[in-house]
Amino acid sequence: MLSRLRTTLALRPYISICRWAHTKEKGKPLMLNPRTNKGMAFTLKERQILGIHGLLPSKVETQDIQALRFQRNLKKMTDPLEKYIYLMGIQERNEKLFYRVLMEDIDELMPIVYTPTVGLACTQYGHIFRRPKGLFISILDRGHIRSILDNWPETNVAAVVVTDGERILGLGDLGCYGMGIPVGKLCLYTACAGIRPEKCLPVVIDVGTDNETLLKDPLYMGLYQKRDRSQAYDDLIDEFMEAVVDKYGQGTLIQFEDFGNHNAFRFLRKYREKYCTFNDDIQGTASVALAGLLAAQRAIGKPLTEHRVLFLGAGEAALGIANLIMMAMMELGLTQAEAREKIWMFDAHGLLVKDRAQKTDANQEAFVHDSQGDVRTFLDAVNTIKPTAIIGVAGAGRLFTHDVIKAMGTLNDRPIIFALSNPTNKAECTAEEAYTLTDGRCLFASGSPFGPVTLSDGRVITPGQGNNAYIFPGVALAVILSGVRHISDTVFLEAAKTLAQQLTDKELEEGRLYPPLSNIREVSVQMAVKVVEYVYANGMAFRYPEPLDKNGFVRATWWNTDYDSFLPDTYDWPGVSFSPKIN
């Protein structure tokens, strides 16, 4: 473990050997604040001067030893939820230690603080609750949101992640239990992109829930009412957006997360030209999926414009991915109509085709095609459309059946199979099913992690994880640093191309479509650098003067997890006499 704890120092070239931090806190409050608590790493002088001597055991520890204890305790645990509770407990007590270990063991711990375990944590939020995190704003607080923001102790917030809990991963309406999602997302803002944690604000908008189980649960922590879908809901969101920019500035990044399909698109359309905002379920998912397709085209040697894509699901994730694929195809020379002809969708009611009994909404109209005859099942759709790629984002479980996977293997030498639904039990198929049923020929990616698969001939294939964490932390860092006011879809197109370029030929040969998660911090840095270059080149940046060395500019802002010294900055005045002069 300790050999890994310093392997990423290349990302931390701007750390000074000794740093002082001014604090007015003394005594026990200093130890109770996770921002200032160092546990047994307080030096003897700090303990004596700050009034905490005797409140800790005699030993003075290094952060290395604290991290080793942290890791050993985690290894004793086998239950993911137990690990989540332990990790979040460390975050509540010692923020720098938490991020130190998370950053440097990110590939093992990301599935705990983020998908898939965070989904389980959200379902159990009221049962495992220990200390509140973030802001809880309810529909009953209309007219008072600014005063609630004033209660937040940090005044220099740069990024807000907000949810109303209606569509948490593939788990549905969890009401205020959805707070686990903004908390987890912002953990990755810091762990993957080095954004200072005090600049991050998680928010849940509590307007009730339609989840009958929660409404009957005595441990539920939100409003015991049906979800408010009246004009009051829209007014609340309007007031929230206005209050955020009034409090923290027009350039504050506001990321929408896990809103219902019907609200996600309309809020994106409503706010994208007025605020610095994006929807990760629509745009982040689209970017990481497109990056996987761009990597797949390298493996196959077939340009994106020659692929035909069939989606399982036609909600916000599918539409976001489809629109970005269409943009990429048009950039490569296709017309909009030609690009649309290559993208098909299949939802709970069948193919999106004209004159079907179930109506499509306005967001889906671009991908509605002429009827293809009697297509009843997804397997029928595969055999009729003959796609080169299938992308599952329905959140309905194992709908890429063995027959579907075999059909894809029959139709294509190298079928592309993306099972992107989260958490793991909602994935459309497993990596093992996809590889074994196609004799290892498929190019596979999933939303939640799957381990390496060993085939009958001894080959070992490492599946790719299409994790949004490859995209949103780096994009967020670039947006914050460059002062972007409005985030265009072209930013996510640029992010997808950047991510695909960071996959090496060796990694592609191993079966990966994305870089290893252990490299995600460097991936996020490169992502931020490329996006900063792009927004300045295209007149989207508002922070001037423009930095000449953008790589150095991005790396210089990286938050580090070394402990600060809380000793007062003392020094002598050499040669000064405090005695009066005598003639």
Catalytic annotation, residues:
114, 185
Cα–Cα distance, 449 to 471 (Å, whole number):
16
In this predicted structure, what is the pLDDT of residue 115? 87
In this predicted structure, what is the pLDDT of residue 23? 67
Q: Confidence class of residue 439 from pLDDT cuts 50, 70 and 90?
A: very high
**Mean pLDDT of the region 132-146:** 97
In this predicted structure, what is the pLDDT of residue 396? 87
Query: Using CB atoms within 10 A of its CB, is residue 576 exposed (0-12), middle (13-18) or buried (19+)?
Result: exposed
pLDDT tens per residue across span 117-131: 999 999 999 999 999
Residue 6 has pLDDT above 60, yes or no: no
SS3 content of the chain, % helix, strand, coil (to 5): 50, 10, 40
**Mean pLDDT of the region 100-110:** 93
**Mean pLDDT of the region 385-404:** 95
Cα Rg for the chain, rounded, in angstroms? 25
Calculate the CA 154 to chain-centre distance: 22
Residue 16 has pLDDT above 70, yes or no: no
Q: Which of 28, 76, 70 is nearest to 52 (CA)?
A: 28
Cα–Cα distance, 278 to 252 (Å, whole number):
12
Tell me the residue type at 233: Y
In this predicted structure, what is the pLDDT of residue 21? 66
pLDDT tens per residue across span 455-514: 999 999 999 899 999 999 999 999 999 999 999 999 999 999 999 999 999 999 888 999
pLDDT tens per residue across span 324-374: 999 999 999 999 999 999 999 999 999 999 988 888 888 899 999 999 888
Tell me how many helices (H) and strands (E) the chain has.
25, 14
Are the C-beta atoms of 417 and 450 separated by less than 8 Å? no
pLDDT tens per residue across span 262-279: 899 999 999 999 999 999
- Which H or E run includes 446? strand 443-446
Cα–Cα distance, 464 to 418 (Å, whole number):
9
Give the Cα-Cα-Cα angle 301, 302, 304 (nearest 5 degrees). 130
In this predicted structure, what is the pLDDT of residue 350? 92
DSSP state letter for 283: I
Which residues lie across from 345 on neighbouring strands? 311
Q: Confidence class of residue 19 from pLDDT cuts 50, 70 and 90?
A: low
> Which among 78-92, 362-376, 564-578 has the top mean pLDDT?
78-92
Among 19-33, 325-339, 448-462, 561-575, which stretch is predicted with the lowest mean pLDDT? 19-33
Q: What percent of the chain has pLDDT over 90?
A: 86
Which residues lie across from 346 on neighbouring strands? 312, 351
In this predicted structure, what is the pLDDT of residue 379? 97
Cα–Cα distance, 466 to 159 (Å, whole number):
23
In this predicted structure, what is the pLDDT of residue 361? 86
The chain-wide mean pLDDT, for the chain, equals 93
In this predicted structure, what is the pLDDT of residue 8? 42
pTM for the predicted model, two decimal places: 0.92
φ, ψ at 450 (rounded to 5°):
-125, 145
What angle in degrees, to the nearest 10, is found between the helix axes of 472-482 and 520-537? Answer: 40
Q: Confidence class of residue 10 from pLDDT cuts 50, 70 and 90?
A: very low
pLDDT tens per residue across span 404-419: 999 999 999 999 999 9
In this predicted structure, what is the pLDDT of residue 59? 97
Which residues lie across from 201 on neighbouring strands? 160
In this predicted structure, what is the pLDDT of residue 7? 42
In this predicted structure, what is the pLDDT of residue 79? 96
Distance set, CA 323 to CA 88, 119, 282, 327, 526 (Å): 37, 27, 10, 6, 25
pLDDT tens per residue across span 172-200: 999 999 999 999 999 999 999 999 999 99
Q: Confidence class of residue 424 from pLDDT cuts 50, 70 and 90?
A: confident
- Which H or E run includes 49? helix 44-49
Q: For tokens 């007062």, name the residue.
A: 568
Q: What percent of the chain has pLDDT over 70?
A: 96
What angle in degrees, to the nearest 10, is found between the helix axes of 63-75 and 80-93? Answer: 160
Tell me the residue type at 212: E
Residue 317 has pLDDT above 50, yes or no: yes
Are the C-beta atoms of 542 and 484 separated by less than 8 Å? yes
**Mean pLDDT of the region 22-40:** 89
Residue 13 has pLDDT above 50, yes or no: no
Q: Confidence class of residue 22 from pLDDT cuts 50, 70 and 90?
A: low
Q: Which of 316, 315, 289 is nearest to 304 (CA)?
A: 289
What angle in degrees, to the nearest 10, is found between the helix axes of 180-193 and 472-482? Answer: 70
